[in-house]
Chains A and B, each alone.
Chain A
Amino acid sequence: MEITSWRETGQTPVTILQLKGDLVAEDPLGTRVNAAFADGARHIVLDLSDVPYISSAGLRAIHSAYMLLRSADPADAAAATQGIATGAYKSPHLKLVRPSKNAMRALSTTGYDMFLEIHDTISNAVRSFS
């Protein structure tokens, strides 16, 4: 898997990780997310438009990224606990862009689409943080 990253500075700085290839392991995505977090990233977009396939191991990498970002925002934990029950909660820190049909199948089968916003374009995902 190849990962390209960049940061968009605006009202809310957003780190974009553009993935290319099957997401079938926790690394290298886990390492890149940890590095971005250590570098101050608190809002991340995962561009999945070039990811044909996601396995449960790949989902665990997304899960870990979500948890890491949430660890820096204690208020988010309470919002999630309340919002999950009503179906109203989406992560304010991690968003996804254009998962393929197969990738979407993995996300929806496991319920990850209940918690993570999915956008059509990177720019829409970045704007949604503001």
Chain B
Amino acid sequence: MKSLTLRHTTAEVRDLNDFRDFLEKAILSLGGSDDDAGDMVLAVNEAVTNSLLHGYGGRPGPIGLCVEADDGELRVILYDVAAPFDPTQAPPPDINLPLEDRPLGGLGIHMMRQLTDALIYHRSTEGNELTFVKRAALVQPGGD
């Protein structure tokens, strides 16, 4: 297994661009395709935004991202130490509703689900761990 990690001890919303850049480069360097990187960046950015805005209430806090490539599977694990929050338990929005009938919230979690093959939540003693999985994702040799 290969992995790349980025940790910010005092992450803020203005660091989101750094997280996106890291994710894209890490996924591509571990053998993921442009589409894998695009999907993961969009999905993970929503979760990191939630951690920063809601988990930490807009105050600086620790955020970790670990990108793992193993046996054709790509995983991104997001760590934070905010209060427990399990996005996998949120009800899915009905995107077939007219726009005016849709709640303004919930789109981010919908994007996380739609753009990944699995979304796994674990609450450890240290905080929240949210794992984004793309299966059969490593198209380039050496990305095992």
Q: A102-B38, A109-B115, A110-B111 are in contact. Are A55 and B104 (CB under 8 A)?
A: no
For chain B, residues 11 to 59, give those with C-beta under 8 angstroms from any C-beta of chain A: 16-17, 20, 34, 38-39, 41-42, 45-46, 49
A114 CA / B111 CA spacing, docked (Å): 16
Across chains A and B, the number of contacting residue pairs, with CB separation under 8 Å, is 60
For chain A, residues 59 to 88, give those with C-beta under 8 angstroms from any C-beta of chain B: 59-60, 63, 66-67, 70, 77, 80-81, 84
A24 CA / B42 CA spacing, docked (Å): 11
Q: Is the contact region of chain A dominated by helix, strand, or loop, or is it mixed?
A: helix
Total number of B residues with any Cβ neighbor in A under 8 Å: 25
A to B CB contacts below 8 Å, 12 in the list: A53-B20, A53-B45, A55-B46, A63-B102, A70-B100, A80-B100, A101-B38, A102-B41, A102-B42, A105-B115, A109-B42, A109-B111
- Using a CB–CB distance below 8 Å, which chain B residues touch chain A? 16-17, 20, 34, 38-39, 41-42, 45-46, 49, 95-100, 102, 104, 107-108, 110-111, 114-115
